[in-house]
Structure formats: structure tokens, C-alpha cells
Chain A
Amino acid sequence: MEENVPSKMHYQLDFKGKGETFFGIVIVNWLLTIVTLGLYYPWAKAKTLQFLFGQTTLNDDAFAFHGTGKEMFKGFLKALLVFAVLFGIMGALTYLGHQGIGILVLYLGIFAIMPLAIHGSYRYRMSRTTWRGIRFGYRGDQAELVKLFFKWVFFTIITLGIYSSWFQMNLRRYVIGNIRFGDAEMNYDGDGGDYLLMNIKGYFLTIFTFGIYSFWWQKEIFEYYVNNLSLHKDDKRIEFTSTASGADFIGLIVINMLLIVFTLGLGYSWVVTRTMKFIFDHIQLDGNIDLNTLHQTEENYKDATGEDVSDFLDMDFIV
């Protein structure tokens, strides 16, 4: 490690996890989940995240996920309660002969939970994630996110869905912009208009090329995600750049599909580790932040409810 601070630093992301190791974890998780009739699920999830984070390295030092099955189990119970109440209300309304209203309440309820789930799961997951012992954190404001979320939903509805592109990018900007890595801040620069144009282009070219362009479309989506990311600390920064090509994506996706199909799903572990490796091999970091100077700033936060609500809603963690 160098003591002086050069203007340009060296950064290297990597994923060191092996498919075989993850396979063991997945199988043991399956076994325990089946034997406990599903109760083990939160612990299984914690183990999975611990592995995936723990095998991802930055400059040869691993990230770590410190969330525990117990925390997630509590979150799981709370999420279950929320859904039980919603379904209870729907059931009661249906019983009273207002089936339509019942279903409406259920959908509105689930919809209203979404921003809370996003907020909760980011807050929990970031606070349980560290690198060299330095915690990540999420500083978004719950009330603000709820307000923005419904404003964007409203715009999306009145523009007949066209605004959804801005919806996604605004949400990503908000969420990622509130991520802290010790005393450094994450930032996302994506714009709804650019994103929409890119997707329109991708959509039509995919049709014109009978699907072949979809790999390049995938590449552009990934690139749009990565290239707009940056990390800031004081006046220094790190820029993220994707180095993946369309051909790289063909290799990734086609082999992943074959792995799943020809192993009856047992190849799932290798699909995950390959994909993780692919992602981190294709993100290049450039900048002048000296990682050694990062300091602990974020609090310890232990409520995993949001995490499990988003699980129930089958939402992707990454917005």
C-alpha cells in the first residue's frame, strides 16, 4: 500500500466465489428449508447474501454482509403480518359482498407498500454491508420517497406509461444518490429521456433483427446502469465504466440458459457465480479517491422488514 496519495488510483473489482462452493450452500439451504417446512428460508437467504457479498472484492478486500437469519426472520414475520392484514380486509369485504372494493383495497395496499419496501430493504441491506469494516448506509427519507413515488406514478398514469422511463431513472437517482459508503457518497446520473430513446431503439432493432439485437440491448441497459454511477468523497471521485460488449452478453446468457436446462436446475449455482463474475469483471473503476482514507460514518440498523416485504412482492432489489 502506498502512503502518498497519487492523483490517479488503481481499483479492481472481482468476484472470487466458486460455483461448487455456492452449490454446497444452495443444497444445504434447500435441505434445511424443506426439513423445516420453509421456516429456514430467512436464514437461507442470509447465508446466500453472505456468500455473494463475501466473495465480491474490491482491491482484493472482500465486501461482507452481516445480516442474520434471525433479523430476517423477524422481518419475515412482520411482512407476513402486513400481507395477512391486507388479505383479511379483502376477505372481509368480499364476504360482505363488495368483492370489487376488496380487490381494489388489496391492490392499492400492495402498491402503497412498495416505496416503503424499497426504503426498508435499502436501509437494512446497506447498513449490514461493509468493506474493510466500513459500513454502507442509505440516507433516503421515507416520507419523501413515498411522496415522490406517488407523484411519479401519477405522471406515469396520465402519460399512459411514457413517463415510466423517467419514473425508473428518477427512482434510481434518488435511491442510489442516498447510498453512503463510509464518508463517500454514491451518485447516479441517468435521465429518463435518454433511457427511453435507448429502449425504443433497442426494442425496434430487436424486432428487425429477429431478437439477435436483444444481447446488444442488454449490453446498453447494463452500460446505462454502470456508466452513470459514480462515487464522491470531498472533491475526489471514482467513475464506473462498463467494458462488456454485446458478444460478451451472448456468451453469458446462452451458456446460463444451457446450464439451467441441461442440469434440471442444479446448475443454478454456477449461473449465479458466473453472472456475478461477469458483472464485476466488466465494471472498470477510475478516479482519485484513496480508499484507505474512507471512514466509518453510517449507523448500525437492524430492521429487516422492508427486505422481506420486497421479497413477498417479488421485486428486484436493484431498482
Chain B
Amino acid sequence: MNQEAAGIYFDGKSAAPQAVTIVLNTLNGVLQFQTETATVERWLLGELSFENVGTTLQLQKQQPDGIAILKITDSTFAAAILKFRKENKQIGWYEKMLASGMKFHLVLGLVILGLIGLTYVYAIPWVGEKSVALIPESFDDTMSGTFISDNLLFSDVASDKSKVLNAFAKELQLNNKKKLKFIFVEEDIVNAFALPDGTIVVYSGIVDKMQNYDELVALLGHEAAHVNNRHSMKMLCRNLSGYLFISAILGDANGIMATIGDNVNSFQSLSFSREFEQEADREGFAIVVKNKVDPNGMLNLFKRLQDEGDSIIPEFLSSHPVTKQRIATTRQLVKSTPQQVEANSKLQQLFQQLKK
């Protein structure tokens, strides 16, 4: 069976179009036509590449010195070619997937988006957090070193009061595996933070607000829990892996998508820190109870932070968003945990020295 149609041929040497008459042999899938130089071309359908441009079917044949092209506008003829290719299984899986229709692609797209979302929310933080185990603790120290030299350079580190603070902490059981070091900074900031290497920085602003030493114990317990759990490293790894994931996914999209992704990532990191805060609260509470200190100090501490409200400067490594929920959770803990409180005159005395 033969079918015939008009076509336009480019020989791959010049851009001059040649009008040709193409004959398709539907038995062996050969296209035959005669060029202007009277050469007879025989093209095997299986060797060609196909592209639909508008309503034109374009066939390309790779030749040793270039690419020859045949354009066909006759739709019946194009359909006959497609029919032959289908019947002879010349259509590869890739082409089939492309031809599977808009609906299928849309479903596939939504599934992929869903999978990416799930991976981002569940798998990536987990991987990031677990990858902390691969990072040697010595790196925590190096990182903290840079942070201290960058951030405390212009701060007023009070060495006398730092000694008192260290003595205060020495009286306590902080469940720490790594040596903790305390720095007292004279600055009116109502905050404290923990660095991964075990350095805990306390500002005079927060101590001045405290009424009783049990509040300071709660603060140190909470910070120690951050260090014990390597929270800042975990957060860094989570953020970094989240960022890497997003940029890998959106890599070839464009600026708009990258910006959206970035914002999503930083939004996500807020809830990371909340989760870590809860853990530090729980463990900090356990430390308070273990040291036979009144856990109500923790509640008072939170109330003072809450009064301070938005004026708390967000810290890079571990800031302390005080929410009503944290207070409620702690109140619940105070109620449900059996506790034994003993007044500690030494802590009281050291605390008074810090307040001076």
C-alpha cells in the first residue's frame, strides 16, 4: 500500500526549500522522494525524529554531515505515518508519556507537588536533625568561637559577675555532658542564649527583672537543656537541609519561585525553634525539680519575659518566644509533678551578688 503527499525538503547544506513528492510505503515504513538533484532518498521511519510544529509534521534525519528535514502539512499523510509507527511499536515510552494527555499530567504534577511537600515537612527536618550526629562536636566549638567574637565584641562582659554566675551554676545539677561556661553581660537586654559549645550568655537585663533565685535556676536549666540536646546545631542543619532541598527542587524554575521558597523555609524554621523550646522547657523543668528549687520560679520567669513582649531582641541561636501556651504547659507541669523544695541559702546569696 502506498500513499502520496507533497512535502518540503531541506538537504542540510543550504536553506533553499525543495518541493518534493513523498511516497510512504505502509508495509515497510519507508518514505521515498526525489530531490532536485535527482537523487532518490529513502528514509526509514524508525530512524527519524518527529516534531509537531503548529499543524506541520517535521521529520528530521541525522546525516553524517548535518541534518536533513522533511516538512509535511498533509494531515491524512501525517496520520498514516503515526499509524505505522504505532502498529510497529516505534513509539517509545517517553513519547507515550508526553502524549498521555493534560489530565494525566495535571494529576501527576499534583502528586509530585504533594510528595515534595510531604518530604519537605516530614523527611527533610528529620534527615537534617539526624545529620547532626555526623558533625563532630568540635565543630560546635569552632562555630561558637566565631559567633562570640562577632557578637560579644562590643558587649560589656562583666568578669566578676561572670565568676559569680559560674559559682551559682556550680551549685546546680544541670544534667550536662559537656562543660558549661557562663558569661554575664552588662546590657539592658531581657534575654539569654546558649551557644553550641556550652557557653551560656546571660544579660543583666533579665537578671535585674528577677525577684528570686529560683527564676535564675529555671533560666539556666532551660539553657542547659538547649546545649545538652545540641539544639542550635540541629536547627542549623534543619534550616540548611531545608534550604538545599528547596533550591534543588526550584533550581531551574526562576527568581520568583526561589524567593517564595526562601520565605516558606524561614517560616518553617520558626516552628522548628518552637518545638525545641518546648523540649528545653520540659528538661529545664526537670532540672529545677531535681535541684529541689521551687518550679514556680519558672512560671515567674515566663511572665517577666511576656511582660517584656516584643521588645525582646530575637537572637540568632536560641531566642525565647514566650507564648501563653508555654506558661500553661508549665503550670500543668507544676501541678502534676511531685516536688520537694528546699531553700538554698548559697544560691540566694550568689543571686543577690548578681543583682547588685
Q: Which residue of A lies closest to B12 (CB)?
A: A133
Roughly how many angstroms separate A163 CA and B35 CA in the complex, as a whole number? 55
B105 touches A133 (CB 8 A): no
Q: Which of B15, B65, B110 contacts A182 (CB 8 A)?
A: B15
In the complex, whether A238 has a CB less than 8 A from a CB of chain B is no
Roughly how many angstroms separate A215 CA and B98 CA in the complex, as a whole number? 36
A296 touches B13 (CB 8 A): yes
Q: Which residues of A contact B254 (CB under 8 A)?
A: 268
- Of A23-31, A143-151, A220-228, the one contacting chain B is A23-31
A27 touches B112 (CB 8 A): yes
B54 touches A16 (CB 8 A): yes
**Contacts A20-B102, A268-B253: A132 and B112 contacting too (C-beta < 8 A)?**
no
Q: Which residues of A contact B54 (CB under 8 A)?
A: 16, 57, 60
In the complex, whether A62 has a CB less than 8 A from a CB of chain B is yes
In the complex, whether A66 has a CB less than 8 A from a CB of chain B is yes
- Of A186-194, A241-249, A259-267, the one contacting chain B is A259-267
Q: Which residues of B contact A285 (CB under 8 A)?
A: none
Q: Which residue of B lies closest to A17 (CB)?
A: B53
**Contacts A130-B67, A133-B69: A27 and B105 contacting too (C-beta < 8 A)?**
yes
A132 touches B17 (CB 8 A): yes
**Contacts A132-B15, A257-B256: A24 and B105 contacting too (C-beta < 8 A)?**
yes
Roughly how many angstroms separate A54 CA and B11 CA in the complex, as a whole number? 18
Roughly how many angstroms separate A305 CA and B142 CA in the complex, as a whole number? 37
Tally B residues with Cβ within 8 Å of A: 43
Chain A nearest CB from B58 CB (Å) reads 6
A23 touches B257 (CB 8 A): no
Roughly how many angstroms separate A201 CA and B71 CA in the complex, as a whole number? 48
- Residues of chain A from 148 to 175 with CB closer than 8 A to chain B in the complex: none
Chain B nearest CB from A236 CB (Å) reads 14
**Contacts A20-B102, A64-B67: A133 and B113 contacting too (C-beta < 8 A)?**
no
Q: Which residues of A contact B105 (CB under 8 A)?
A: 23-24, 27-28
Contact with B along A133-147 (1 / 0, CB 8 A): 111000000000000
Q: Looking at A27, A28, A293, which has the most chain B CB atoms within 10 Å of its CB?
A: A27
Roughly how many angstroms separate A310 CA and B68 CA in the complex, as a whole number? 30
In the complex, whether B60 has a CB less than 8 A from a CB of chain A is yes
Q: Which residue of B lies closest to A272 (CB)?
A: B254
**Contacts A30-B112, A134-B15, A266-B113: A57 and B53 contacting too (C-beta < 8 A)?**
yes
Q: Which residues of A contact B109 (CB under 8 A)?
A: 23, 27, 30, 266
Q: Which residues of A contact B100 (CB under 8 A)?
A: 24
Chain B nearest CB from A100 CB (Å) reads 13
- Residues of chain B from 263 to 317 with CB closer than 8 A to chain A in the complex: none
Roughly how many angstroms separate A296 CA and B63 CA in the complex, as a whole number? 14
**Complex A-B, nearest 10 residue pairs according to Cβ-Cβ distance, in ascending order:** A133-B12, A294-B15, A132-B15, A16-B54, A292-B16, A132-B10, A62-B53, A133-B10, A27-B105, A24-B105
